Amino acid sequence: MMWTLPILVILGCALSSVPLGRYMAWAMNSRGPGLPCRLDAMVARVGGSRCGEDQRWHRYAMSMLVFNAVMFTVVFVILTAQAWLPFNPDAKGNMPADLAYNTAASFTSNTNLQHYSGEQHLSYFSQLFAIMWLQFVSAATGIAGLTALCRGLAGRSALGNFYRDLARATVLVLLPLAAVVAIGLVLCGTPMTLQGSAVATTLEGLTQTISRGPVAAVVAIKQIGTNGGGYFGPNSTHPFENPSLLSNIIENASIILLPMAAVWMFGRIVGSWKQAAVVFAVMGVLYAGLVGTSVITEQAPTAALAGLPVQDAMNLEGKELRFGSSAGALWAISTTATSNGSVNAMHDSLNPLTGMMPMIGMWLNVAFGGVGVGFINMFLYIITGVFIAGMMVGRTPEYLGKKIEAREMKLALLALLAHPLFILGGIAIFAATPWGAATVQEPGPHGLSEIIYEFSSAAANNGSGFEGLGDNTPPWNIATGTVMLLARFIPIILPLAIAGSLASKERLAESAGTFRTDGVLFGVILTGVVLIVGALLFLPLGVLGPIAEHLAVSGGSAGPR
Amino acid sequence: MSADGSKTRLPRLRNTSEVLDKHAVFVERHDTLTLRLLPRDIWKRLAMERQKDLSIFQPAFIAPSARRAVLRLSPQAMMGNPVMFVAWLGALVTSVESVRVIATGGEGLVFVLAVTIFLWLTVWFANFAESLAEARGRAQADTLRSARQDVMATKLASADRSAARSEVPGGSLRKGDIVIVEAGGVIPADGEIIEGVASVDESAVTGESAPVIRESGGDRSAVTGGTRVLSDWIIVTVTADPGEAFLDRMISMVEGATRQKTPNEIALTIVLAGFTLAFLLVCVTLYPIGAYFDTRIDVVTLVALLVCLIPTTIGALLSAIGIAGMTRLGASNVVAMSGRAVEAAGDVDVLLLDKTGTITLGNRRATAFVPAAGVDESAVAEGAQLASLADETPEGRSIVVLAKEKHGLRGRDLQQEGARFIPFSAETRMSGVDVQGRKIRKGALEAIRAFIESHAGTLDPGVARAADEIAAAGGTPLVVAEVVNGTARALGVVHLKDIVKGGIRERFAELRKMGIKTVMITGDNPKTAAAIAAEAGVDDFLAEATPEAKLRLIREYQAKGHLVAMTGDGTNDAPALAQADVAVAMQTGTQAAKEAGNMVDLDSNPTKLIDIVGVGKQMLMTRGSLTTFSIANDVAKYFAIIPAIFVVALPQLAPLNIMGLESPRSAILSAVIFNAIVIPALIPIAMRGVEYKPVSADALLRRNLLIYGLGGLIVPFLGIKLIDFAVAGIGLA
């Protein structure tokens, strides 16, 4: 029973991701007559020549930065001025500047880390035109980035046009999918209204104000676009966001569907189904491994109930009883491995070892990863793996027929190093200062886990929280806001530079002496590289946070030798 | 006849047995062509050097290398290697800490000192590996250098034999100086002959014992310093300043003095620097995180962790691998003009191989006699043998030998019988003999047809058919005809065939498995070429090859994304050599060819291209394997050090000490010691290269991944545990 839901969801998504990936490749990369090109023409009419011409990597990256900077500014203004804007039936006040900075950064970067609570802090206008709008275009930015990377890998030195790709991703990929999911959620009972909060009189005769709003629309794109920012503070644990087991399945599936399909899109654009299959398999193994471990470790009772007669039960602390512990574990991994960040259980209350699995998901950030960017992150590991293992066949390393040389490695390592820099650097500063140490719920390993989780979540553009951490403070808002922005754009721009550099190289012929990246052996290597590099960088964190806590609560205190 | 017939130059051959003697020499030469070590001078010594190379830790190299390794500890010398520079800084920090502990009488002095010593050793081992590799290269260069004798030169005031002469040391000659070299004299510098013609003994440079003719003008006007004029005199204008001559450049390449990092080496250095930076980040941030747990991680421990984690193993051996690759190439008598070329050799996937000398033995040989209708086979053999007795070409000799072997025909003393030999002429395209009223001729079908028709005969159509069949099978038909009493008739056809070298087919099959395509280059017509190509098992061939066709072929392959290697020796090969990705010029070749190539084969053996590819691949494999090993090692080191650092603050971490190491200090010290001694332990692999077999990329990868990847994960667990035993046993920590 405990395996039914995870297997159902994972297999179902894996299967449906294949045709979806084909569709995405058509929607993003089709150059023949048809809907995508008519959309291009519209974009060019509206935006002028800048939206019509093909761009080399630096122009593409520049367009992406400009667009996102504009979006960031607009949203910042909306949030700090929402009291004066329409669609504010519950008369929400303006957001403080540091919180607005964090929120704008969070949604621009597709992170959706929420230091606010939707039902308390946001007007409907902000929900729809700041939050939901960014949930669409930030996910579309990721898809556009991946499409450009794939084009470069396929050998096109012009990577396409960012504005065109953005429009295609939003209109042809995200909108239809989000509409389908939203309708499904409405059918499950999720509210979709622009009326103000409902006021109800309870059986005891008290009046209760019940927040509602255009929930289904926001929740649909929050899941489809690996955004994760819930309409309500409690996210998908809230019965309006996630009313039933069926809505839970729909939402969990929509979390991993697009990241999975993005891999097939890559295969389609570079013209090799097998290349994509290997990457998909590696991501799948990592993802399934994390899910499996979590489901098992979450079967153990929580330490909080030690000594009580109920202690033999699985860990239900912080879970929604209508979903159970397996659904909580599956969701916790799905949401962190993919940079989504929505939650249907409190990660803070997971058993310590289970709590480490979402962290691993965020540290690696490649087990499908965010929409588009998951594959881009994996691409960095692929390049690194190809470089080191490629030499072992006695040739200078090459990937998809292109030589990997000093320039590519420099860029790949810079991008790869950005991730641990933000996580380790942030943790070091906050763990050693009252900025972090004073905001944790309890001192010791668990408190460190909260700090680790918060920075990992920001750097992985994930957005989920370990909770328990008092994170709505100026230091946290500014630090995580900045980390989110840098951690978003550095790992997109540098890989684009690599793609541009590879695209300009001669394609080498393939032979029996070529290092193959489309077989099982490379799958093993890639898994090894991800795990070893990940382990080497983040093992100390895992040991000092969750593992230390686990060993402490499981009574493994053998003492120093 | 005389047994010393072979010593006489161009002897007039009188009878068959003399011819047979000559042929024996010829056969012997060809059968040993690839194995033959050069007869004299330095190349013999180089070969001996090669034997000695097998022992890497030669006593003669150890002491100087050890000294050099110490000198290299200076910061400027260390800076070029980012990984080892960080290790060097670490050692410096712990040294300061040792001094502090000594001064303050702090606790744990033995531990701090032990860590410091092994950190310095780590750095020193790295320098030692590089110095050792250089020492071996230098030993090779010394042998080369001994070829360059410092001689006195006779300088001329002007390019005139009667101009004023002055005796100057050869080393003082500058570009543009004019010297005269007379019989018995040594040419003092590289130059160009401007007047005269002489036979020159170039064995000092080429190993080829037969003298060559060098004369002014044309392809044969270049002379190399160190070679000897045997007869006549030449006036030479010097073309290289001291230290820039061809030999000098070869020496400096072998020595590693002009060694520049190759592109892949640079990329790998960047990757290693990246990993170093990442671990620096991990270690530096551990300190404040420790502060969160109120643990003050001492600086020695942090440095130890850092040095253990950064990829010191590959960082220490990287340049040694590159130098050793060049030395290995040198050991097979190939001098690469750049490391880049060696690296490219590993990537090559198309080999252009000259048919003659590489795929087939030097020349065609007679393999069968096909008689005309009504003619006995032995009659054909006899006629062919007679017609060939005076034929000095290898083909001619092989006909004589075949007739003897198959039909027991021994030549007669034709001279006594008043025989008149008719040499081959371009006009008649025939050769033969007139003896006792018989005119015997051999030649191409059309030439013989014309000959018979000129004597009012007709060519037997069966003979023409047989000749065509031979040609279709890739052989060369040689028709034999005679005129007796005014009647001309064809006796039959001699089947001349290219003899494909033994084992070459298997060699090509191996190359194919490795994904390397072989293309045969030949001047033959397409039909003949196709037949030989099929027999030798090459993937493709270029028939009726001209230098232009060669160049075009290389460009075509390159446009399809292939990397092409070729060998060449003539000046007209130069454009193709310049275009190829790996171009091996024969040392016997012209200066232009050598300038255009990026390697020179001193043995002038075109088969060596295959070995060169092997050396390139081995070098890259060694780099990849040791990098993998180095990084895989880190997992075990983590398990040794991380629990050791935090176990005092977080006692619950004790179960993570899965190796059961004695104490936190012993764990850290053991990891440091393991990290240090793994460097000298791997020096032999770095120098010899990881074992290399001609198999597919997948098979190579599987093997290396198993040995260096999996091995790299497991070995340090065992090693650190063992060292921990020892460290605890002698009470170091």
List pLDDT tens digits, range B444-473. 888 899 889 888 888 888 888 998 888 888
Q: What is d(CA B293, CA B653) in angstroms, rounded to the nearest whole number?
A: 13
Q: So what's the pLDDT on residue A1?
A: 56
Q: So what's the pLDDT on residue B10?
A: 34
- Does B6 have pLDDT greater than 80? no
User: Average pLDDT for residues A20-41, to the nearest whole number?
Assistant: 90
More confident of the two residues A198 and B576? B576
Residue A323 banded pLDDT, cuts 50, 70, 90: confident
> pLDDT tens digits for B626-648?
999 999 999 899 889 888 888 87
Look at B514 and A512 and tell me if their CB atoms are within 8 Å: yes
Lowest mean pLDDT among A36-40, A365-369, B307-311, B509-513: B509-513
Q: So what's the pLDDT on residue B338?
A: 80
Q: What is d(CA A486, CA A494) in angstroms, rounded to the nearest whole number?
A: 12
Q: How far is CA B154 from CA B151, B181, B230, B236, B245, in A?
A: 10, 7, 16, 10, 18
Q: Which two structure tokens, joined as six digits, stand for B437?
A: 């009223």
Give Dmax over CA atoms of chain B in angstroms: 119
Determine contact: B277 vs chain A, CB below 8 A.
Answer: yes
Look at A393 and B697 and tell me if their CB atoms are within 8 Å: yes
User: Average pLDDT for residues B239-244, to the nearest whole number?
Assistant: 74
> pLDDT tens digits for A113-172?
888 888 788 888 898 888 889 999 999 999 999 999 999 999 888 899 999 999 999 999
Percent of chain B with pLDDT over 70: 86
Helix-, strand-, coil-residue percentages of chain A, each rounded to 5:
65, 5, 30
Q: What is d(CA B384, CA B391) in angstroms, rounded to the nearest whole number?
A: 11
Q: So what's the pLDDT on residue A419?
A: 93
Percent of chain A with pLDDT over 70: 96
Strand partners, B586: B601
Residue A557 banded pLDDT, cuts 50, 70, 90: very low
Rg of chain A on CA atoms, in Å? 23
User: Average pLDDT for residues A431-435, to the nearest whole number?
Assistant: 88
Q: So what's the pLDDT on residue A501?
A: 93
Chain A residues near residue B266 by CB distance under 8 angstroms: 406
Lowest mean pLDDT among A105-109, A250-254, B163-167: B163-167
Q: What is d(CA A491, CA A459) in angstroms, rounded to the nearest whole number?
A: 11
Placement of tokens 């006995």 in the chain? B376
Look at B627 and A388 and tell me if their CB atoms are within 8 Å: yes
Query: Best mutation site among B283, B510, B653, B693 for testing chain A: the one with the most A CBs within 10 Å?
Result: B653
Look at A511 and B516 and tell me if their CB atoms are within 8 Å: yes
Determine contact: B169 vs chain A, CB below 8 A.
Answer: no
Q: So what's the pLDDT on residue A76?
A: 95
Q: So what's the pLDDT on residue A364?
A: 92
Chain A residues near residue B646 by CB distance under 8 angstroms: 543-544, 548
More confident of the two residues B624 and B249? B624
- Does B49 have pLDDT greater than 60? no
Chain B residues near residue A540 by CB distance under 8 angstroms: 282, 286, 289, 638, 642
Q: Which two structure tokens, joined as six digits, stand for A345?
A: 């259980």
- Does B390 have pLDDT greater than 50? yes
More confident of the two residues A77 and B160? A77
Give the minimum alpha-carbon distance from B243 to chain A in angstroms, rounded to a whole number: 33
- Does B731 have pLDDT greater than 80? no
Chain B residue with minimal CA distance to A422?
A: B281
Q: Which two structure tokens, joined as six digits, stand for A489?
A: 């754009």
Residue A367 banded pLDDT, cuts 50, 70, 90: confident
| Mean of pLDDT over chain A | 88
Q: What is d(CA B38, CA B32) in angstroms, rounded to the nearest whole number?
A: 11
Look at A396 and B264 and tell me if their CB atoms are within 8 Å: yes
- Does B15 have pLDDT greater than 90? no
Residue B344: Cβ within 10 Å count: 25
Determine contact: B651 vs chain A, CB below 8 A.
Answer: yes
Lowest mean pLDDT among B27-41, B661-675, B686-700: B27-41
Torsion of CA A467, A470, A475, A476, to 10 degrees: 10
One-letter identity of residue B390:
A
Lowest mean pLDDT among A194-203, A488-497, B91-100: A194-203
Chain A residues near residue B314 by CB distance under 8 angstroms: none
Residue A318 banded pLDDT, cuts 50, 70, 90: confident
Q: So what's the pLDDT on residue A308?
A: 67
Q: What is d(CA B308, CA B87) in angstroms, rounded to the nearest whole number?
A: 9
Torsions phi, psi of A214, nearest 5? Answer: -75, 60
- Does B8 have pLDDT greater than 70? no
Lowest mean pLDDT among A202-211, A330-339, A369-378, A533-542: A202-211
Determine contact: B266 vs chain A, CB below 8 A.
Answer: yes
Say which DSSP state A304 is in.
G
- Does A304 have pLDDT greater than 60? yes
Of A396, A409, A424, the CB nearest to B271: A409
Residues A10, A288: contact at Cβ < 8 Å?
A: yes
Say which DSSP state B140 is in.
H
Confirm whether B232 is a catalytic residue: no
- Does B601 have pLDDT greater than 90? no
User: Average pLDDT for residues B112-116, to the nearest whole number?
Assistant: 94
> pLDDT tens digits for A387-424?
998 899 988 899 999 999 999 999 999 999 999 999 99
Of B561, B702, B705, the CB nearest to A507: B561
Residue B334 banded pLDDT, cuts 50, 70, 90: confident
One-letter identity of residue B635:
V
Give Dmax over CA atoms of chain A in angstroms: 80
Question: How many CB contacts within 8 angstroms connect chain A with chain B?
Answer: 224
Percent of chain B with pLDDT over 90: 27
- Per DSSP, the three-state class of A31 is coil
Beta carbons within 8 Å of B438's beta carbon, 6+ residues apart: B482, B483, B484
Antiparallel, parallel or unpaired: β B350-354 and B564-568 = parallel
ipTM greater than 0.85, yes or no?
yes
Name, of A394-408, A439-453, B82-96, B587-601, the range with top average pLDDT. B82-96
User: Average pLDDT for residues A75-96, to the nearest whole number?
Assistant: 89
More confident of the two residues A195 and A22? A22
Lowest mean pLDDT among B180-194, B203-217, B397-411: B203-217
Q: Which two structure tokens, joined as six digits, stand for B724?
A: 């921990």
pTM of the model: 0.84
Q: So what's the pLDDT on residue B38?
A: 31
Give the minimum alpha-carbon distance from B272 to chain A in angstroms, rounded to a whole number: 10
Of A393, A427, A561, the CB nearest to B701: A393
More confident of the two residues B358 and A388? A388
Look at A536 and B349 and tell me if their CB atoms are within 8 Å: no
Closest listed residue to residue B445, CA positions, set B469, B473, B421: B469
Chain A residues near residue B628 by CB distance under 8 angstroms: 388-389, 392
Percent of chain A with pLDDT over 90: 47
Lowest mean pLDDT among A91-105, A461-475, B659-673: A461-475
Look at B653 and A551 and tell me if their CB atoms are within 8 Å: yes
Q: So what's the pLDDT on residue B274?
A: 94
Beta carbons within 8 Å of A132's beta carbon, 6+ residues apart: A214, A217, A218, A221
| Sheet of strand B360-371: strand arrangement | B360-371, B487-500, B476-484, B438-443, B430-435, B420-422
Give the minimum alpha-carbon distance from A72 to chain B in angstroms, rounded to a whole number: 30
Q: So what's the pLDDT on residue A307?
A: 66
Chain B residue with minimal CA distance to A560?
A: B651
- Does B43 have pLDDT greater than 60? no
More confident of the two residues B569 and B651? B651
| Mean of pLDDT over chain B | 82
Determine contact: B2 vs chain A, CB below 8 A.
Answer: no
Determine contact: B279 vs chain A, CB below 8 A.
Answer: yes
Q: Which two structure tokens, joined as six digits, stand for B13?
A: 């051959």
Residues A481, A101: contact at Cβ < 8 Å?
A: yes
> pLDDT tens digits for B523-560?
878 888 888 888 888 999 998 888 888 899 999 999 98
The residue from B21, B41, B190, B354 that is catalytic is: B354
Look at A544 and B650 and tell me if their CB atoms are within 8 Å: yes
Q: What is d(CA A20, CA B34) in angstroms, rounded to the nearest whole number?
A: 61
Query: Best mutation site among B562, B612, B650, B713 for testing chain A: the one with the most A CBs within 10 Å?
Result: B650
Give the minimum alpha-carbon distance from B623 to chain A in angstroms, rounded to a whole number: 7
Closest listed residue to residue A448, CA positions, set B306, B634, B300, B650: B650
